[in-house]
Amino acid sequence: DTAVSQTPKYLVTQMGNDKSIKCEQNLGHDTMYWYKQDSKKFLKIMFSYNNKELIINETVPNRFSPKSPDKAHLNLHINSLELGDSAVYFCASSLVLGGTTDTQYFGPGTRLTVL
Amino acid sequence: EDQVTQSPEALRLQEGESSSLNCSYTVSGLRGLFWYRQDPGKGPEFLFTLYSAGEEKEKERLKATLTKKESFLHITAPKPEDSATYLCAVQGTGRQLTFGSGTQLTVLP
């Protein structure tokens, strides 16, 4: 009965590699998000998709590419990984974007370590 | 640009010792202020949404209040299981959430 799930939980890789993180929500929500949480615990929005359409794209290197095959899934692909990409990445979803009931629900996170 | 500042960064309380966490914010057109709880190694867990100054919400030992410049999360008679990082976030006209860095609360038995 998991609401927002992510895989993998941990990801350790070498600099220069390409990796993907998968996210799925079974809440029937229209909007999904990717956040990055750095070592100081700041959660910062990276992308937002509303019903498979990119809505928010913050200043993120174009090595990061989100892909939404359907509104229940939002995957994050990262090319040419760098040391600074090490962080915890969270997926989230909300019923609508900008509405009065757009509380965001978060997944368990993926800890990415780039060596 | 929306900004959120939380204080203190860390707070240690004895079980039963009530206290408050502060969230100061600047936002263009507040649509909502959110409180989340985050346990180590887990994702943020939603607690409250406040929409307008003067609004209050309660859940068990937690009570959130909102003014035009800040929000408080009051913890009454905390228990060790209340230990976590509490995150505050605002949503303005830009629609995305802007988070603070959190207050790490430790409740000692």
List pLDDT tens digits, range B7-39: 999 999 999 999 999 999 999 889 899 999 999
CB contact under 8 Å between A100 and B87, yes or no, is no
CB B38 within 8 A of CB B84: yes
Tokens encoding A24:
């799925």
The answer to whether B18 and B77 have CB atoms below 8 angstroms apart is: yes
Amino acid at A24: E
State the pLDDT confidence band at A100, using cuts at 50, 70 and 90.
Answer: low
Per DSSP, the residues of B50-67 read E-STT-EEEETTEEEEE-
In chain A, pLDDT over 70 holds for what percent of residues?
Answer: 94
Q: What is the per-residue pLDDT across A31-47, written as a single tens digit (0 to 9) for each? A: 999 999 988 788 999 98
Find the mean pLDDT for residues A13-28.
96
**Alpha helices, H only, A9-92:** none
pLDDT, residue B42, reads 94
The percentage of residues in chain B with a pLDDT greater than 90, rounded to a whole number, is: 88
Q: Tokens 């509405």 — which residue?
A: A99
**Could you give the CA distance from residue A11 to residue A63 in angstroms, rounded to a whole number?**
17
Sign of the CA dihedral running A69, A94, B70, B81: negative
Interface of A with B in 71-110 (CB under 8 A): 90, 92, 97-98, 100, 102-109
Q: List the single best residue of A43, A104, A105 to mutate versus B (max B Cβ within 10 A).
A: A43
Tell me whether strands A87-94 and A110-114 are parallel, antiparallel or unpaired: antiparallel
Indicate the range of A53-57, B42-46, B57-61 predicted with least confidence.
A53-57
- Calculate the alpha carbon distances from A68 to A32, A54, A75, B80, B108 in Å: 9, 9, 6, 40, 44
List the structure tokens of B72: 């408080």
Q: Is the pLDDT of residue B95 over 80?
A: no
Q: Are B87 and A106 in contact, with CB atoms under 8 Å apart?
A: no
How high is the pLDDT of residue A1?
64
Minimum CA–CA partner of A31 in chain B: B96
How many angstroms separate the CA atoms of B64 and B59, rounded?
9
